[in-house]
Structure 1
């Protein structure tokens, strides 16, 4: 009898282990402030991104991939919760960015509300081991720490930006800029941060190769400060200034991604691992010389160059290589997609805005994942219905574009379609009624800054000139 019970236990354990191995591993490679045009797979002849170009060839490329906000912090809040961040009051500014009048009162208490579940929270229930490396930017206070938001391992920094080189004297450096291992153990890397993060990921994969894992690799590349290693700078002798630096930083980003992808193959995990690459918002051309062409606009504004980002997904076991998907998707779709891939029941996901992209990618569903998408920053807001895009301002008339014919957003059709504008305004107001009161507010002085950026980076003459200058198709 004991032998029978023992054999049954072995068979049961083997079955459970086998089932767990059917769950795909998930790696999310997330860049910071990269330009839409600054990748080979998007047509750049200047940047060197061979590893990400290969990822695009081996997977699915979304030609209309969006983020939930045009700035770092809110964008991350939306993707990690699978919903519009405005619905839980997280909007307007990067936190804890101290750009708000409330900063002196709220300080480190600004962050992702504790009642919001993250991707890691959901995947943990499915048996995943979760790790996050790099930039957190969802709250500095201990209560918002990654290890308290569903992650099992962390190496990175809590804030929004820091040096790419080891900080030698960190006594006077705020803790959100220090590199931290797990909780409260501050350890500066021994090499360039972008490379160090890849090394940490590799160690985690080696340690957890026999169990399903989720890795959120949130690079700070290519966000300011503009810092690159000499060997990478030498690869771009014909470039100067910030453009040379961002090219070198992008090369390092690509190299780090390549190390992770190579390790996947070495461990025999690549066939059943989902790999996603994306970016948190459009590139801030005036800050780091990134380019969003042929899109107009930059980070922090609502033109396509602020909201549309590189977006790749590879899953050899399920998705056909070399596929291009042309309907709009959002980074808040990643949560339900990962959850469904891991064997979760989508009906268990309450109160989210994202959708599971798997049936859309495979062709099981031929309709659009989203007919409606929204963005908002104080009084400024955007509503996209299919290919029509309405931009609302606080201090000037609304704009209307047909993105199927005008991705540069040059031909304002608001005067030609007044009834469409009215209907879209009404829908936008209805969406705003679903939001919570903002937990903090942006100083009004940034309205003019963002608006000026929109105007500066969308003249057709500039777009044409810049595309020719940087050899972009």
Structure 2
């Protein structure tokens, strides 16, 4: 073989190696798709992967085995609207005054801005805004609940497509006539009324499948936010789903049927990702907006005390699953506290967003904590508040402040039901945490709106009714 031929062969080999290397780098750097499956008012215990033997959730149970189950995942607030505000901005909503009400105001509010004018401040940057900067197609399906006025609309908050309703609750079956309450109307994109056909939980899944298929074909990275109103009231379920639970009755039977539909909808999404061959490059998260309101929808937050709207663990700790093949070890648990405001930076960094872009947020990218690259806790301290009530978790200790009784201190590893007040036996810790809680409050904006005090009294009564003291006596 001539020297020239050897040189040519070596050149060709070098080119081939460069091409293969560049393809490998390209694959390694491909942006993942992102799907957020977000339930509403679900009970902490109401899934098979959380230990339920009553609920039927085979699809979400499968997702849990394929990903990571978080045992101490917290929401940013124990009610729907503020919880969503913290999640979608990646920051504590208390810092921009989004403390009190579920907006728009189906509850009577005392405020300079009522009803549709109560919403996520337009100057706040959303999860969808950030992902669009990274070239993502973005879509939102279902319950918005972050403001009814046009300036708060999803299409003005970073989403390219929207099918859902602006308010906090509506029927699952189609209305026979256009509802007089505009916030209950189903909209396609901006202001176009289009009532659905069929059971709403199923419809939202079907709508999202179209978006996922279109973006998959165009090779565009996508973010699909499925904000189900299931299992929030009204208690609506199909006859077929109800028949799956012959041994149950009342709201417990209905919530089981609604949860079955929620699981079926999640399964449709997961199956479509596999069918399209994109499951390996898609982050899927399933979680919930707050603890279940057991007195309203028959949900179960066991073994935790408390329900929706309370600062006990049952009001703020939620089911949370995350699957990202190749990045997170399947069928594992993560036992340190995280918050739903961690989702924004987690998604943004997965999308390749630069660190310096995220300014003035409270969330962190949880991936390096979960895969062991970082060994410390994602959050040493977390806070919650509503009017005079407040709570603080510092390490494994939790302080809860009430408007009608002395504050209490709990050590959660030994007492997740929060039954044993240790404020008297830990006076130094109690005093220090109490002062730290107040110091944090002093940094906050004043609330943009306030509830009537009668609602606060109602929430305290709900807390007492679902504080599991009787279970121990």
TM-score tier by shorter-chain length is: over 0.9
Give CA-to-partner distance per residue, 1:240-297, whole Å, 9 cap, x none. 0111000000000000000000000000010010000000000000000000000000
Give CA-to-partner distance per residue, 1:176-204, whole Å, 9 cap, x none. 10110000111111110000000011100
Structure 2: how far apart are the matches of 1:118 and 1:71? 19
How many residue pairs get aligned? The number is: 450
2:78 aligned with 1:70: yes
Corresponding residue number in structure 2 for 1:156: 164
Q: Mark the runs of 5 or more structure 1 residues left unpaired by the alignment.
A: 1-10, 465-473
Corresponding residue number in structure 1 for 2:249: 240
Structure 1: how far apart are the matches of 2:181 and 2:382? 37
2:284 aligned with 1:275: yes
Structure 1: how far apart are the matches of 2:468 and 2:374? 38
Structure 1 residue 18: Cα displacement? 5.0
Structure 1 residue 443: Cα displacement? 1.1
Task: Report if aligned partners of 2:67, 2:332 keep a CA contact under 8 Å in 1.
Answer: yes
**1:181 aligned residue (183, 188, 199):** 188
Distance 1:226 1:462, change over 3 A: farther
Corresponding residue number in structure 2 for 1:99: 107
Structure 2: how far apart are the matches of 1:122 and 1:31? 23
Structure 1: how far apart are the matches of 2:67 and 2:59? 12
Runs of 4+ in 1 over 4 A off after TM superposition: 17-21
2:214 aligned with 1:207: yes
**2:98 aligned residue (90, 101, 108):** 90
2:145 aligned with 1:167: no
Q: Mark the runs of 5 or more structure 2 residues left unpaired by the alignment.
A: 1-18
Structure 2: how far apart are the matches of 1:235 and 1:224? 20
Structure 2: how far apart are the matches of 1:20 and 1:294? 42
Structure 1 residue 346: Cα displacement? 2.0
Q: How does 1:23-172 map to 2 (within 5 A)?
A: 23-102=31-110, 106-170=114-178, 172=179
2:305 aligned with 1:296: yes
Q: Which is higher, the Rg of structure 1 or of structure 2?
A: 2
CA RMSD across the alignment: 1.7
Structure 1 residue 453: Cα displacement? 1.4
Per the alignment, in what secondary structure is the counterpart of residue 217 of structure 1?
A: strand
Structure 1: how far apart are the matches of 2:184 and 2:191? 12
Per the alignment, in what secondary structure is the counterpart of residue 373 of structure 1?
A: strand
Q: TM-score, normalised by structure 2?
A: 0.93
Corresponding residue number in structure 2 for 1:220: 229
**1:332 aligned residue (329, 341, 350):** 341
Q: Which moved more, 1:109-118 or 1:92-101?
A: 92-101
Structure 2: how far apart are the matches of 1:396 and 1:463? 21
Corresponding residue number in structure 2 for 1:196: 203
Structure 2: how far apart are the matches of 1:285 and 1:153? 33
Distance 1:397 1:91, change over 3 A: same
